[in-house]
Amino acid sequence: MHGKYTRKYSYEISNIKQILNKLSKGNYYEKTQNKAHGSLAKNICELEVRFEELLEKLDGNIDSDLAKTLQKKKEIEKSSSIENENH
């Protein structure tokens, strides 16, 4: 897979490849008993979510950098709202 999409969505593709690589090596909780690896079901769910996000970005022609910036903004807003609730 090479070309403009590989460069434009390298962050998303990297996330998907990491999950696939982890699963292909057998690094999931049911096999290793290491909770850090996560369950097979959780890894598959995460893979589905990441793939769906990538497809949405492709359909909407949203840049990866823009998407990362928006995600960080959402996390900051969520963190701020949690802090406000605690005060």
* Confidence band for 32, pLDDT divided at 50, 70 and 90: very high
24: confidence class by pLDDT, cuts 50, 70, 90: very high
Q: pTM to 2 decimals?
A: 0.61
Question: HSE-up of 75 (CA within 13 Å, CB side)?
Answer: 6
* Mean predicted confidence (pLDDT) in 16-39: 92
Say whether pLDDT at 20 is over 70: yes
Q: Positive or negative, the Cα torsion across 65, 36, 17, 48? A: negative
